[in-house]
Amino acid sequence: MPATLDTPPNAGARDFESPVADRPDVDLGNYRFGFHDQTDTYAFKSRKGLDREIVAQISEMKGEPAWMRDYRLDSLALFEKRPMPTWGGKLGDINYQDIFYYMKASSGQERSWDDVPEDIRKTYEKLGIPEAEQKYLSGVKAQYESEVVYGSLQQDLVDQGVIFTDTDSALREHEDLFREYWATVIPADDNKFSALNSAVWSGGSFIYVPKGVQIKFPLQAYFRINSENMGQFERTLIIVDEGANIHYVEGCTAPTYSSNSLHSAVVEIVVKKEGRCRYSTIQNWSNNVYNLVTKRAHVYGDATMEWVDGNLGSRLTMKYPACHLLEEGARGETLSIAFAGPGQHQDAGAKMVHAAPNTSSRIISKSLSKDGGRASYRGLVKIMDGATGSKSNVVCDALILDPQSKSDTYPYIECEEADVSLEHEASVSKIAEDQLFYLMSRGLSEAEASGMIVTGFIEPLVKELPMEYAVEMNRLIELQMEGSVG
């Protein structure tokens, strides 16, 4: 694979001012998850900062084999060598020496919520995770700071050979399988933040679905940052074997602090022949989290990879879930919703690389911006030489809710093959006076009317989510919309 595929689209081509820089402290409004727990009972807390000693200490704490420690140290060197990206959003005030890279809040991972330390358990109860687990999930991982504190998987899936564990345990318990796939989809030198993650990674989900196994209900991971200046660097690796099927869901929140936290995950997925993987994210970080995530899937013959990516919250998100369609008939899809509120910049999109004949991809992106927020769509469709008969369809729609807010679109298409079908549609609209008037003339208040227009705008995406998440997504959007008009 040429190296150009491994750099973000449009690297270096644009460097723009972000409105974020002009806002000292953003009004965090009614963010529901802004509470935090005490941290003095933690089992382990690294000192602040990033250097070889910290990285080696993390590896030692985890009792890792030497090859992983060396991989981390090499990655740190790559991270230090690489310049900060100059495109996307404003990254200027991340101070890497002012961050905690590793914190362990409890001594181990529990299989029963009753055994999880009370503070932490209560946090997850407030977030509604144990309740959701009982109702409609096949398994749950709860990560708190750097480590997974709770894990469960239905017994029948265990019996069928499904592995759903945290990534640290996977390295200990399934080292051969782990090593076969580790960093094969996203190498450490892919980009600055994948290098950082490779150096200090902790936690995340490791999933293996054996041949032909169909997992009916979603597996969910929930990522929670609790401390100020915390960096969360989970590493997720999902392997869907031939003809298998999985829906994985992740949710994320963090408390509201005056200084920033950093979330920089790496998610690698392999979907083998005729397999199917859907990965849904509902990310709702507080407005002081930098969310810089690399997500990529390798998709093989007649397999399907679907990213459903809901980006609410965070100060800056840069995230472009990618599918590399490597064998004939592979299919990739990204559905992305970004909502940029005050002081926020969502730079989100997707990458589809067609590397084999008759592959197909679809990108649907919906972005909303309000109260000075900025939502950017950034995407790449690349059709490589020989990928004949491939098809790609990109639709991106932006809705701007007031004159202070901003939306931009950076679509990139690179096509090396003639016999293909490429479609791109983009629209930008403001909430039209005529739409508001129409709904208000039927008795809806201005707030109800604009809320309804917004809900309608994202409806085509929300209906792709399972019911429970659709309800959650709509509720989050409603919260973001509250008090926005009038």
Binding footprint of another protein on the chain (CB under 8 A): 432-435, 437-449, 452-453, 455-460
Helix axes 52-61, 66-81, angle to 10 degrees: 150
Smallest separation (angstroms) from another protein to the CB of 452: 5
Distance CA 329, CA 144 (A): 39
Smallest separation (angstroms) from another protein to the CB of 441: 5
Smallest separation (angstroms) from another protein to the CB of 150: 33
Token pair for residue 27? Answer: 């009004």
Name residues whose C-beta falls within 8 Å of residue 282's C-beta, 6 or more positions apart in sequence. Answer: 249, 250, 251, 252, 310, 312, 469, 472, 473, 476
Smallest separation (angstroms) from another protein to the CB of 275: 32
Smallest separation (angstroms) from another protein to the CB of 437: 5
Smallest separation (angstroms) from another protein to the CB of 282: 19
In this complex, which beta carbon is closest to another protein, that of residue 191 or of residue 480? 480
Token pair for residue 318? Answer: 């840069």
In this complex, which beta carbon is closest to another protein, that of residue 55 or of residue 453? 453
In this complex, which beta carbon is closest to another protein, that of residue 159 or of residue 434? 434
Q: How many residues does the chain have?
A: 486
Smallest separation (angstroms) from another protein to the CB of 395: 12
Smallest separation (angstroms) from another protein to the CB of 462: 9
Tell me the C-alpha to C-alpha distance, in Å, between residue 35 and each of 41, 253, 377, 383, 401: 17, 10, 31, 46, 29
Helix, strand, coil fractions of the chain, as percent rounded to 5: 25, 35, 40
Smallest separation (angstroms) from another protein to the CB of 478: 9
In this complex, which beta carbon is closest to another protein, that of residue 316 or of residue 439? 439
Longest dimension (CA), the chain: 69
Name residues whose C-beta falls within 8 Å of residue 416's C-beta, 6 or more positions apart in sequence. Answer: 383, 384, 385, 387
Between strands 316-319 and 345-354, the pairing is: parallel
In this complex, which beta carbon is closest to another protein, that of residue 83 or of residue 443? 443
In this complex, which beta carbon is closest to another protein, that of residue 39 or of residue 484? 484
CB 265 within 8 A of CB 236: yes
Between strands 289-299 and 322-325, the pairing is: parallel
Of 341, 321, 327, 320, nearest to 299 (Cα)?
A: 327
Of 325, 331, 330, 426, nearest to 383 (Cα)?
A: 325
In this complex, which beta carbon is closest to another protein, that of residue 415 or of residue 447? 447
Specify the DSSP element, H or E, that contains 436. Answer: helix 433-440
Cα 42 versus chain centre, distance: 27
In this complex, which beta carbon is closest to another protein, that of residue 158 or of residue 426? 426
Smallest separation (angstroms) from another protein to the CB of 482: 9
Distance CA 156, CA 209 (A): 13
Name residues whose C-beta falls within 8 Å of residue 432's C-beta, 6 or more positions apart in sequence. Answer: none
